[in-house]
Structure 1
Amino acid sequence: MRFKDVFSIIGPAMIGPSSSHTAGAIRLGRVARQLFGELPQKAVIALYGSFAETYEGHGTDLALVGGLLDYETDDPRIPQSLQLAEEAGLEVVFSPAKKPAFHPNTATLQLSSDAIQLSVTGASIGGGNIEIISVDQFDVKFTGLYPTLVISHEDRPGMIADITAILRTMMINIGYMDVDRKARKGEAMTVIEIDTRPEPGLIEVIEKISSVSKVRVVDLTERRKP
Structure 2
Amino acid sequence: MEFISIFDVLGPNMVGPSSSHTAGACSIALMARKMLGEPAARAEFVLYGSFARTYKGHGTDRALLAGVMGCSTDDVRIPRAYELAKEQNLTWRFSCNETETEVHPNTVDIDLTGITGKTVSMRGESVGGGKIRIARINGIDVDFSGECNTLIVVHKDRIGMAAHITSCLSQAEINIAFMRLFRESKGDKAYSIVEFDGKLPEHTKEKILLEQDVEHVMLIQIREG
TM-score calculated relative to the size of structure 1: 0.92
Judging changes above 3 Å, is the alpha-carbon distance between structure 1 residues 212 and 3 closer, same or farther for their aligned structure 2 residues?
farther
Cα separation, 2, equivalents of 1:46 and 1:55: 11
Q: Say which is worse superposed, 37-46 or 213-222, in terms of deviation.
A: 213-222
- Report deviation, 1:195: 1.7
Query: How far is the alpha carbon of 1:68 from its aligned partner?
Result: 0.5
SS of alignment partner, residue 122 of structure 2? strand
Contact (CA 8 Å) 2:20, 2:129: kept in 1 or not? Answer: yes
Aligned to 2:53: 53
The corresponding residue for 2:10 is 10
> Quick one: which amino acid aligns to residue 59 of structure 2?
G
Q: Which structure has the highest strand share of the two?
A: 2
Query: Deviation at 1:5?
Result: 4.8
Q: Distance in 2 between matches of 1:5 and 1:88?
A: 38
Deviation at 1:184, TM superposition (A): 2.5
Name structure 2 gaps, 5 residues minimum: none
Amino acid at match of 2:123: T
Contact 1:153–1:213, Cα closer than 8 Å, also in 2? yes
Tell me if the contact between 1:4 and 1:145 (Cα under 8 Å) persists in the aligned partners. Answer: no
How many angstroms does 1:185 deviate by? Answer: 2.1
Do structure 1's residue 96 and structure 2's residue 96 form an aligned pair? yes
CA contact 2:107–2:126 (8 Å) conserved in 1:
yes
> Which one of 212, 217, 220 corresponds to residue 218 of structure 1?
220
The amino acid across from 1:71 in the alignment is C
The residue identity in structure 2 corresponding to 1:44 is: E
Q: Which moved more, 1:205-214 or 1:156-165?
A: 205-214
User: SS where residue 190 of structure 2 aligns?
Assistant: strand
Cα contact 2:48–2:103 (8 A) shared by 1: no
| SS of residue matched to 1:27 | helix
Q: Partner residue of 1:23? A: 23
Task: Indicate which of 145, 161, 165 corresponds to 2:147.
Answer: 145
1:20/1:72 CA distance change after superposition, 3 Å: same
Once the two structures are aligned, what percentage of the paired residues are identical? 40
| Structure 1 residue runs of 4 or more that deviate by more than 4 Å after TM superposition | 2-5
Q: Alpha-carbon deviations, 1:163-186, whole Å to 9, x = none?
A: 112222222121222212223222
TM-score (norm: length of structure 2) = 0.92
CA contact (8 A) 2:179 2:192 kept: yes
Change (3 A) 1:88 1:155: same
Mapped contact 1:49–1:101 kept (Cα < 8 A): no
